[in-house]
Amino acid sequence: MNRHSVPPRPVPWTELKARTPHAALLPLFAFDWGWQWLAWLLGNWSFLLVLEYLGSFSVLIAVIFWFSESGDRVKQRHYQAWQVINTAQGQSGSGGRIDALQELNADHVALTGVAAASAFLQGIRLTHAKLARADFSSADLRNSDLHNADLTWANLHFANLRDTNLESVAFDHANLSDCDFSGSDLAGARLEHANLMNADLRNANLQDIDWQHIDSVVGSDLAGVTNAPPGFVAWALQNGALQTHP
C-alpha cells in the first residue's frame, strides 16, 4: 500500500521571486507556486489520508469476496456445462458437448449415465472419465482419447471409435455390438461380460486385453489385429468371430 506523503511547505513568495532568473518567467513561477501551496494544504488534510486507507481496504475486501465465492462460480460453471449436455440430447452434432464434457471431466466431475447418443464427439479427450452407464450409441468418437475411462455398463452400440486411444478402459458389461474399433488401441482394456457381437476390430491393438469372460464375439471382425493375447483369436473364431481381409 502506498503511504500518504505530505509535500514540503512552499517557500515564501519573496524568496521565490528573488530566485526567479528573469522577470518574464515570474508568471510561470507564480502559477507553479500556487499549486505547490494547494498540494501542501491538501497533503495536511487527514480526510484524504482516510480515503487512501479506505481505498486499499476496499481492494482487500474485494479479494476476500472473490476467493470466498470461488466455489459458487465453479458450481455455476458446472451447471452451465450440464445444461449444454442435456439441451443437446438427441442432436446429431456436437452442440457444445465436447467442451462441456471435457470441462466437467477436468474438474473430476462424474459423468455417470451421461446421454450422448448419436452425438458428434470426434477428437474428444475424456481420460480417466467416470462414464459408467453412459449412452454413446451411434456416437462419433473417432480419434478420441478415452484411456483409463470407466465405461462399465455403457451403451456403445454402433459407436464409431476408429483410431481411438482406449488403453486400459473398463468395458465390463458394456454393449459394444456393431462398434467400430478399427485401428484403435485397446491395450489392457477390460472386457468382462462385454458384448462384442459384430464389432469391427480390424487392425486394433489387443495387447493384454481381459477377454476370458467376453459374452459374445459372434460376427466380430478380427482381421489384422495386433498383439492379441495367447488363445484369444482361436477362441474368438471358435465362437463366431471372423477374419476378413483388412
pLDDT in tens, the chain (246 residues): 455 565 676 667 666 666 666 666 667 667 676 667 666 666 655 555 555 666 666 666 666 655 655 666 688 889 899 999 998 887 777 778 999 999 999 999 999 999 999 999 999 999 999 999 999 999 999 999 999 999 999 999 999 999 999 999 999 999 999 999 999 999 999 999 999 999 999 999 999 999 999 999 999 999 999 999 999 999 999 999 999 865
| pLDDT tens digits along 193-225 | 999 999 999 999 999 999 999 999 999 999 999
| pLDDT tens digits along 81-104 | 999 999 888 777 777 899 999 999
DSSP secondary structure string, 54-111? HHHHHHHHHHHHHHHTHHHHHHHHHHHHHHHHHHTTT-SS-TTHHHHHHHHHHTT---
CA distance 244 to 246: 6
CA-based nearest residue to 136, from 105, 106, 108, 101: 101
Say what the alpha-carbon torsion angle 170, 171, 172, 177 is, to the nearest 10 degrees: 180
Q: Would you say the pTM of this structure is higher than 0.75?
A: no
CA-based nearest residue to 214, from 162, 177, 159, 160: 177
CA distance 49 to 95: 55
What are the sequence ranges of the domains in the chain?
13-68, 74-246
Backbone angles phi, psi at 126, to 5 degrees: -130, 55
CATH number attached to the domain at 74-246? 2.160.20.80
215: exposed, middle or buried (Cβ count in 10 Å: 0-12, 13-18, 19+): middle
What confidence score (pLDDT) does residue 122 get?
A: 96
Q: Are 48 and 79 in contact (CB under 8 A)?
A: no
